Amino acid sequence: MKKFQLGEFEEVVMLTVGILHGDAYGVSIKKEIEERLSRNVSVGALQTALKRLEQKGYLESKDGEATQERAGRPKRYFQITALGKKAMEYTRSTRNEMWAAIPEVAFDVKFVS
């Protein structure tokens, strides 16, 4: 079975889509990431990640209704697919296994100046 691969930013985007369930579109995703992580997100990087995650089958999107404030363009809403959920679960379990494998002594560090 092919392993599910999520890069760090892809994982953040997937988690944010889950947090925003039902209201996950480009601007809301960007805003949520920036607020939660105190991290600037470029529109281009976010759009690239969303497109890549959709191509992998981890996200799916649909157009909302067109609005006056968006000059008649619809918002594109994203949601996690069943495959995306498996990828997220795989990523979480892999990270947890790696954290659990670190011996306590590895965190008992003293810095020498």
* 62 part of a folded domain: yes
User: Would you say residue 76 lies in a domain?
Assistant: yes
User: For residue 38, is it within any domain?
Assistant: yes
- Domain-located, residue 18: yes
> Is residue 1 pLDDT above 50, yes or no?
no
Read off the tokens for 3: 């392993």
- Helix or strand holding residue 26 (H, E): helix 26-37
Domain count, the chain: 1
Q: Report whether 84 contacts 53 (CB < 8 A).
A: yes
The answer to the question of residue 21 being in a domain is yes
Q: Dump pLDDT digits (tens) for 11-68.
A: 999 999 999 999 999 999 999 999 999 999 999 999 999 999 999 999 999 998 777 7
Domain membership flag for residue 1: no
What residue numbers bound the domain in which 15 lies? 8-100
Cα–Cα distance for residue pair 107/89, rounded to 1 Å = 26
Residue 2, in any domain of the structure: no
CATH number reported for the structural domain that contains residue 57 in this entry: 1.10.10.10
- pTM for the model stands at 0.85
Specify if 67 maps to a domain: yes
